[in-house]
Amino acid sequence: MKITDMKVAIIGQNPVVRIITDEGIDGLGAAETAKHYLKWHIEFYKGAIIGMDPTNVERVMLNIRRMGAFKPWGSAVSAIEVALWDIAGKAAGLPIHKLLGGKIRDRVQIYNGNKRKDMTSYSPESFAQNMQWMKDQPENFSIIKQGITFHSRMPRDIPNYYYGEYQERENTGQYEFEGRYPNRGKLTETGLKNTIECVAAMKEVLGDEVGLALDCGPGLTVPDTLKLAQALEPFNLLWMEDTMTGDYTPYVTPELFLQVTPNTSTPIHTGEQIYLRNNFKELVEQHAVDVLGPDPFDVGGIAELKWIAEFADLHGILIAPHGTGDGLIGLAALVQVAATMPDNYIAFEMPTGNPSWWYDIIVGLPNPIVKDSHIEVWDTPGLGIHFDVEATRQYLRPEDADFFD
C-alpha cells in the first residue's frame, strides 16, 4: 500500500486531513477548531509522505516529526499521524486500540471539555449557577473543569483583580487568527479572595459527588499559584491547570512548577501545549507536576500520547489528556488511545462537534455518545468513524470541493 494523495479541508471550524492510498483506503485526522491557518501547515508535509506505506506509521512519522514544533507545526504533524493509524486499522480490520496493544478498559471516563456554559459574570453566585447547569447535563459528568483567573474574563471584568492592565485579545489576522495576548500579573488581595470564594461556591454545589478541576491560566505568578493552591487544599480539587505557563506557551518551565508542586497537596497540571515526549522528559523525571494533559493533536499523535502516559506512570504521575477543540475526529482518537493507557489515566477532555451539524455528517459514534461520564469503547476498524460524504458536501468551502474526489 502506498500514499497517493493528501487533502486538507476546513469543515466547520476544524482543519481536516484525508490521506488517500492506492488500495482505496483513506484515513482521517484533524486539528483544533479555529486553526484555519493550519491548512497550509498540513499541506507542507504532503511531499514528504507521498509514496510511503501508511501502515508503517512510525517510518512515515520519522520522515516528518523532526520538522514539527510547538503549535502550529506540531498540530499538523499530529493530524497526519492520526490519519495514518486510521488507515493502518482499516487495512488490518482492527480498531486502533488493538494496534496499540489492546484496551485495558471497556469504557473511558471523560469530563466536560467543550460542553460548558459561557460565563457572563464572575461572582461566586454565577460560578455556582454554572456548576448547577453543568451538573444537570445528561452526560452526568463525574468531573467538571472550569476556567478561572487568567483562563477567564475575571482579570478583565472584576475591578482591581490584579496589578496590571488587561489587554484584549485582537482578531486582526488574515487567517482569522484569534489573538492570544499573554495577560499575566500578581493578584491583588481582592482578586485572590474573589477566586477562593468562587471555588468555594462551586464546591458547595458539586459536593462530594462531582470532582472539580480548574483551568487557571497561564498568567499567574509563582507565589500566587502556590498561595492559591494552598488556600484551595480543603476543597480537594482534581487539579489546577496551566497556572504559570501552558496554553499557547511555546516552552516548558519545570523549574517554575517545582516551586509549587512539592509545597501543596493540590495537584498541579500542565501539558496541552507541549509537542513530543522529549519536552515532557524534565517535567516527568523531576516530578514537576502531578498531572499531565497532552493533546493527541498537538503532542505528535496518539502513539506519542500513549508513550508519555506510560512514562508518566513509571514516575507516579497521572494523565488527563486535553482535547477541547479537536472535534469528533479528535473524540474518536481519544477514545482509542485512552482505552489502552495505564491506570494512571483519569479522564480526557471531551471534544464536541462544532457546529452541531457535525453530528449529522459523522457516522460510527455511539448514540448517546456519553453515558454517566463514560464512553463505551467501540471495536470497528481504524478510528471507527467516517464521513457521510453526500451529507458533508454541502458544508465544504468552494476551494475544498474536491476533498472526497
Residues 88 and 20 reside in one and the same domain:
yes
In a domain, 250, yes or no: yes
pLDDT at position 175 is: 46
pLDDT at position 334 is: 98
Residues 200 and 329 reside in one and the same domain:
yes
The mean per-residue pLDDT over the stretch 292-320 comes to 98
Q: Which helix (H) or strand (E) holds 200?
A: helix 189-206
Domain count, the chain: 2
Burial 125-162 (b: 16+ CB within 10 A, else e): eebbbbbeebeeeebebebbbbbbbbbbbbbeebeebb
CATH number at residue 305: 3.20.20.120
pLDDT at position 13 is: 84
- Map 188-199 to HEC letters: CHHHHHHHHHHH
Residues 90 and 102 reside in one and the same domain:
no
Instruction: Calculate the alpha carbon distances from 134 to 127, 214, 273, 365, 373 in Å.
Output: 11, 14, 26, 23, 12
Residues 143 and 202 reside in one and the same domain:
yes
Residues 65 and 122 reside in one and the same domain:
no
Q: Tell me the DSSP string of 23-63.
A: TS-EEEEE--TT-TTHHHHHHTTHHHHTTS-TT-HHHHHHH
CATH number at residue 396: 3.30.390.10
pLDDT at position 38 is: 82
For cell 516527568, the residue is 284
CB-based contact 284:315 (threshold 8 Å): yes
Residues 40 and 115 reside in one and the same domain:
no
Residues 170 and 102 reside in one and the same domain:
yes
Q: What is the pLDDT of residues 19-44, one digit of tens each?
A: 999 999 999 999 887 666 788 899 99
For cell 463525574, the residue is 142
Please check the confidence at residue 90 and state whether its pLDDT lies above 50. yes
Please state, rounded to an integer, the average pLDDT across all residues of the chain: 94
Q: What is the pLDDT of residues 311-367, one digit of tens each?
A: 999 999 999 999 988 899 999 999 999 999 999 999 999 999 999 999 999 999 999
The boundaries of the domain holding residue 13 are 3-94+389-400
Residues 61 and 168 reside in one and the same domain:
no
Please check the confidence at residue 177 and state whether its pLDDT lies above 60. no
Nearest one of 63, 94, 96, 93 to 80, comparing CA atoms: 63
Q: What is the pLDDT of residues 204-219, one digit of tens each?
A: 999 999 999 999 999 9
Provide the whole-model pTM: 0.96
The mean per-residue pLDDT over the stretch 174-178 comes to 50
In a domain, 405, yes or no: no
Residues 117 and 261 reside in one and the same domain:
yes
Residues 260 and 291 reside in one and the same domain:
yes
Please check the confidence at residue 178 and state whether its pLDDT lies above 60. no
Q: What is the C-alpha to C-alpha distance for residues 218 and 201, in angstroms, rounded to an integer?
A: 23
pLDDT at position 243 is: 97
The mean per-residue pLDDT over the stretch 274-301 comes to 97
CB-based contact 27:18 (threshold 8 Å): yes
Question: Cell for 152?
Answer: 477567564
Residues 148 and 247 reside in one and the same domain:
yes
In the structure, what pLDDT confidence band is assigned to residue 85 with cuts at 50, 70 and 90? Answer: very high
Residues 123 and 78 reside in one and the same domain:
no
pLDDT at position 174 is: 47
For cell 447547569, the residue is 133
Pairing of strands 318-319, 26-30: unpaired
Please check the confidence at residue 172 and state whether its pLDDT lies above 70. no
